[in-house]
Amino acid sequence: MSESGSGGRERPWVFRTYSGHTSARASNQLYRTNLAKGQTGLSVAFDLPTQTGYDADHPLARGEVGKVGVPIGHVEDVLRLFEGIPLERMNTSMTINATAVWLLALYVAAAERSGVDPRRLQGTTQNDIIKEYLSRGTYIFPPEPSMRLIADMVAYTVDAIPRWNPTNVCSYHLQEAGATPVQEIAYAMATAVAVLDRVRARSDVSEAAFPRVVGRISFFLNAGIRFVEEICKVRAMAELWDGLCRERYGVEDPGLRRFRYGVQVNSLGLTEAQPENNAIRIVLESLGVTLSKRARCRALQLPAWNEALGLPRPWDQQWSLRIQQVLAYETDLLDYGDLFDGSPVVEQKVRELVDAARAELFRVLEMGGAVAAVENAYMKQRLVASHSERTRAIESGEQVVVGVNAFTETEPSPLTAGARSILVVDESAEREQIESLRAFRARRNEADVKAALKNLRDAVANGSNAMPPSIAAAHAGVTTGEWADTLRGLFGEYRAPTGVAVRPAPAGSGIARVRERVQALSEVLGRPLKLLVGKPGLDGHSNGAEQIAVRARDAGIEVVYEGIRLTPDEIARSARDEGVHVIGLSILSGSHAVLVRDVLERLRERDLRDVPVVVGGIIPEDDAEALRRAGVRRVYTPKDFDLTRIVDEIVDVVAESRPAA
Amino acid sequence: MDDRRSGRRREAAELLAALERQAPFPGAPRVGLTGSPGAGKSTLLDALVRRLRARGETVAIIAVDPSSQKSGGALLGDRIRVRSAAGDPGVFFRSMAARERLGGLADATRAGSLVLAAAFDRVFVETVGVGQSEMEVASLVDTLVYLVNPGSGDTLQFMKAGLLELPDLFAVNKADLGAEAERTASELASGLGLARSGAEWTPPVLRISARDGTGVDALVDALDAHWQHLVRSDALRERRRRGRDAFVRKALEHRYGSHGLEQLGGPKAIALRLAERRDAACFALVDELGREIEESLQKSR
């Protein structure tokens, strides 16, 4: 970083908006509009089938196509997505992990077809699998082969696409999963070490190239509302990273030890109640990662004020872009050097964070590093514990959330008036994507596809870098599902530990009374009240489901936790095999309408229509009403933060549903 | 089957008695899988189920989870790790919490495994090894597999607790750890040599890796071999009878206490009664002797 206090106005960070939905064509329109409004980089959101390696016509993709991002099935979808956007001048960030090799291969193939030299491509593939196991849930393969794919990309890009950030170590999702700043720093560093240690051990990366490899590692951070602490967090990370690069990896060039990071400010803390307050939260959270020049982000993307209500509309995203522009162009922020150098308060806080994070980092490294600490559930358990603590503090009012547990009186908000105050993805998007995919399959050369897949399988099986055969497969017309299936055949699939076997909630949150009710009802039922918690569809955000599972357990309920990525049929089967009294479904991808309908249908087919169903998710009120009409007994949204109350109501639901004995 | 209300219990007992009377001998093999938490039982089970399904066997699993809390609640998460159970109608998976408050677990697992043995080709009961539960599972199953985590100190604890004579098969997991797994396996083999000299069946010690599937085929072979041994030597009948007797004693003691058992004339008299009724169904026998105890208690009042 340049010296502080020197003259000249600093160039602003890259402005991005995490976006994409419905189809490549619709998303392309959105990107072009956003760039015209002054956005300076792209951040591509992919839909869940693309992220988890399924074609749009796979049974698990049902209801998910085009929901949380753009569906990408093959190279033509990528060409359509970037039509009219000069790839060689664009800085493109892709939130893609388990299938990152494939999406980068498609991007390279699209560039080659457009006559752009891949060496000129700039951007980032998120490609951090550790946090997928811990929080985000879009992993496919077991940890070791997943880490190998990451290392393949790092080894490939360092020479072939030298301005690409092949992996973006994410502490963002760790914070969403409950991480304290210390945990966020330590686990991000442990993840970076896990990648670099593996790359260093490879024979295809020369010792001379290794410092450049280190220099390409970037980070993706969360910025929470405690923005003073966040400033200190980033400064602590920069310091720790510099030390790791120097001491562990022997990088001499300070330029290659620079802590480079992008940010999405906190979405989890955005509230459904009085959502207009979120605009203020977003501004303050932006300050945490921009105020300190020494610790300023390279790229910033802001959520929309109404994310807790549903998918934001273009206007909502524009408002967030304007926040960045006002901050960067109207204020004098970029005129000055670092405002915090020499501040004893900041220095002391940074010291505390560095010391505590280093200790936690070495604890993880001692147990074998980030991968070992995923497999033995150490990190997950620590995160679930912190998350439970945060939930408890909000429930008890110890941690103030304005409009939620304090100052709840409000005038009706004119911003949320009107039926369409959020974006609704057209239900026909899925059908159209499937049709376009089938048309593509029909016109490609099958022999080329078969040969490319065989080549991919052989290359990956014998340990060669997965990138070149994936690029060839992209050119040959292989689809996302075919690419992922080939690797699933080699590596198998994985389910990460849930970390929910943690200590019970502190007493006194009203749980004792619920426990008595559970006990009494269990006597009547003849066996303990049994609840099935499951996530249908492809959404992997399991924190909410896990928090409910833990609280229900603490209330004396037997909870069968089914985890993520289940088909409606699997859920109905589990309900039957396990003999549960009630089912709780959690869906955050906005696919609740189709998925819940399917689960209810499957339950009816199995003669389980009497088993009541409750649903939680980001569910607009109109949809909630439709779900209740379809037979769902209760619908919970982010404003229902009192877990004990939810569990209490689940007891009500079972009591109401019990046929008169 | 796990409904504790008295009416339902009677219905269940009648159903079970009918099942036991009509079930063909030897019926489906019942296999217990035990080991300390984190030993890799679910992962191994998943691998085993895949192999057995591949050769056309249907499989039922009862997974007993120890995570029962003071609250009485439990988080049953094993389903997630046995992915082979998802979406396959040839696999049945039921999780149960090891709950003490509402009456022992033994009733539910025994009843469940009896019912499932009537409908599936093989039944697995997965439990966490904590001493007492090994005893219970050993009396319930035909073959007990103990999964050992190398280097965890499990083996020593196990030997100390005098439980080494229970398992019929030992599987040392994480064979990919190499030397550590080797050492654990040889410790076990020598410990077994002392405990089991002269027995008809010497439990094999297998090195496996639940994660990459090494040795799982050998484990399936060993399960088959033990089953063949039981059937050929007619040890199966004897073993199931011993298991039944242990269960009946425990169930009566659980319900009526040691005072209740005395009503039947003490341990020797009970042993004699059990021997007389050698072919009676397990739950029917509990009810029959239970009634006798109740009558005797009423008279003495």
pLDDT in tens, A584-606: 999 988 889 899 999 999 999 99
A438-488 pLDDT, tens per residue? 999 999 999 999 999 999 999 999 999 999 999 999 999 999 999 999 999
Which of B233, B260, B280 terminates a domain? The answer is: B233
CA distance A584 to A635: 10
A382-416 pLDDT, tens per residue? 998 898 888 889 888 999 999 999 999 999 888 88
Decide yes or no: CATH 3.40.50.720 for domain A511-657. no
* Selected catalytic residue, list A21, A58, A67, A173: A173
Q: Do A554 and B69 touch (CB under 8 A)?
A: yes
Name the residue among B71, B79, B92 with its Cβ closest to that of A556: B71
CA distance A69 to A46: 4
Quote the tokens at residue A226. Answer: 């405690």
* One domain, residues B76 and B151: yes
Residue with tokens 């991808």: A589
Residue B1 resides in a domain: no
* One domain, residues B243 and B223: no
The CA R_g of chain A, rounded to the nearest whole Å, is 24
Name the residue among B2, B5, B71 with its Cβ closest to that of A554: B71
* One domain, residues B221 and B245: no
Q: Do A561 and B67 touch (CB under 8 A)?
A: no
* One domain, residues B290 and B207: no
Give the nearest chain B residue to A503 (CA atoms): B69
CA distance B191 to B158: 10
CA distance A327 to A401: 25
pLDDT for the residue numbered A225 = 95
| CB atoms near residue A642 (< 10 Å) | 17
Dihedrals phi, psi of A596, to nearest 5 degrees: -65, -40
Contact A55, A479 (CB under 8 A): yes
**Residue A107 binned pLDDT confidence (cut-offs 50, 70, 90):** very high
* One domain, residues B70 and B183: yes
B146 closest CA partner among B31, B32, B34: B34
pLDDT of residue A498 exceeding 70, the answer is no
CA distance A463 to A281: 47
- Residue B103 forms contact with A (CB below 8 Å): no
pLDDT for the residue numbered B143 = 95
pLDDT for the residue numbered A502 = 53
Listed range (A220-229, A291-300, B58-67) with the worst mean pLDDT = B58-67
* One domain, residues B243 and B214: no
A57 vs chain B: nearest CA distance in angstroms? 18
**Residue B299 binned pLDDT confidence (cut-offs 50, 70, 90):** confident
CA distance A657 to A110: 55
Contact B176, B146 (CB under 8 A): no
DSSP state of B169: E
Which of B208, B233, B258 terminates a domain? The answer is: B233
Cα B138 to its chain centre, rounded Å, is 5
Domain count, chain B: 2
Q: Do B77 and A563 touch (CB under 8 A)?
A: yes
Quote the tokens at residue A115. Answer: 């006559």
pLDDT for the residue numbered B80 = 78
CA angle (A528 as vertex; A526, A532 as ends), nearest 5: 125
CA distance A473 to B158: 53
| Cα→Cα distances A267→A155, A270, A453, Å | 33, 5, 39
pLDDT for the residue numbered B210 = 82
- Is A58 among the catalytic positions? no
* One domain, residues B178 and B141: yes
Q: Do A560 and B76 touch (CB under 8 A)?
A: yes
What domain range includes position B94? Answer: 6-233
Tell me the β-bridge partners of A222: A264
- Is A530 among the catalytic positions? no
Give the nearest chain B residue to A507 (CA atoms): B71
Mean pLDDT of B25-42: 88
- Is A261 among the catalytic positions? no
- Residue B258 forms contact with A (CB below 8 Å): no
* One domain, residues B28 and B159: yes
| Cα→Cα distances B91→A475, A642, B145, B182, Å | 41, 38, 20, 34
CA distance A583 to A598: 14
Give start and end residues of each alpha helix (H) in A526-591.
543-554, 568-578
Helices and strands (H and E) in chain B: how many? 11, 8
pLDDT of residue A4 exceeding 60, the answer is no
Contact B91, B49 (CB under 8 A): yes
- Residue B120 forms contact with A (CB below 8 Å): no
| Cα→Cα distances A221→A184, A233, A326, B153, Å | 9, 10, 22, 41
CATH number, domain with residue B24: 3.40.50.300
SS3 B86: coil
CA distance B124 to B113: 8
pLDDT for the residue numbered B178 = 73
Residue with tokens 């980092």: A361
Half-sphere exposure of B52 (CA within 13 A, CB side): 28
B144-188 pLDDT, tens per residue? 999 988 876 666 666 666 667 788 999 998 877 777 788 888 878
CA distance B114 to B108: 10
The DSSP-derived string for A30-99 is HHHHHHHTT--SEEEEBPHHHHTT--TTSGGGTTTTTSSSB---SHHHHHHHTTTS-GGG-EEEEE--TT
CA distance A466 to A206: 18
pLDDT for the residue numbered A89 = 93
* One domain, residues B279 and B192: no
* One domain, residues B288 and B184: no
Give start and end residues of each alpha helix (H) in A114-142.
130-131
CA distance A39 to B254: 72
SS3 A526: coil
* One domain, residues B264 and B131: no
Residue with tokens 């990190």: A379
Q: Which amino acid appears at position A617 of this protein?
A: G
| CB atoms near residue A15 (< 10 Å) | 24
Domain boundaries, chain A: 20-117+422-485, 126-408, 511-657
* One domain, residues B130 and B248: no
Q: Do B69 and A570 touch (CB under 8 A)?
A: no
B148 closest CA partner among B227, B219, B69: B219
Q: Do B75 and A570 touch (CB under 8 A)?
A: no
What part of B 31-90 touches A (C-beta under 8 Å)? 38, 67, 69-77, 79-81, 83, 86-87
Tell me the β-bridge partners of B255: none
Residue with tokens 């190499």: B178
A654 closest CA partner among A507, A505, A523, A512: A523
CA distance A264 to A266: 6
B266-284 pLDDT, tens per residue? 888 899 999 998 888 888 8
Tell me the pLDDT of chain A averaged across its residues: 92
pLDDT for the residue numbered A661 = 43
Residue B203 resides in a domain: yes
Chain A residues contacting B via beta carbons under 8 Å: 142, 376, 493, 495, 498, 500-501, 504, 515, 518-519, 522, 525-528, 549-550, 552-563, 566-567, 569-570, 573-574, 577-579
Q: Do B72 and A579 touch (CB under 8 A)?
A: no
CATH hierarchy code of domain A126-408:
3.20.20.240
Residue with tokens 């220099």: A215
**Residue A369 binned pLDDT confidence (cut-offs 50, 70, 90):** very high
- Is A336 among the catalytic positions? no
Q: Which amino acid appears at position B294 of this protein?
A: E
- Is A172 among the catalytic positions? yes
Give the nearest chain B residue to A142 (CA atoms): B211
Please state whether the peptide bond connecting residue B26 to the residue before it is cis, i.e. omega within 30 degrees of 0. yes
B96 vs chain A: nearest CA distance in angstroms? 8
Spatial CB neighbours of B106, under 8 Å, sequence gap ≥ 6: B136, B140, B247, B250, B251
CA distance A196 to A213: 8
A130 closest CA partner among A185, A179, A195, A50: A195
The secondary structure element, H or E, covering residue B128 is strand B122-128
For chain A, how are helix, strand and coil distributed in percent, rounded to 5? 50, 10, 35
* Selected catalytic residue, list A387, A535, A581, A592: A535
Q: Do B3 and A526 touch (CB under 8 A)?
A: yes
| Cα→Cα distances A529→A503, A583, B155, B166, Å | 20, 11, 37, 34
CA distance A66 to A437: 13
Chain A CB contacts of B211 under 8 Å are 142
Mean pLDDT of A191-210: 95
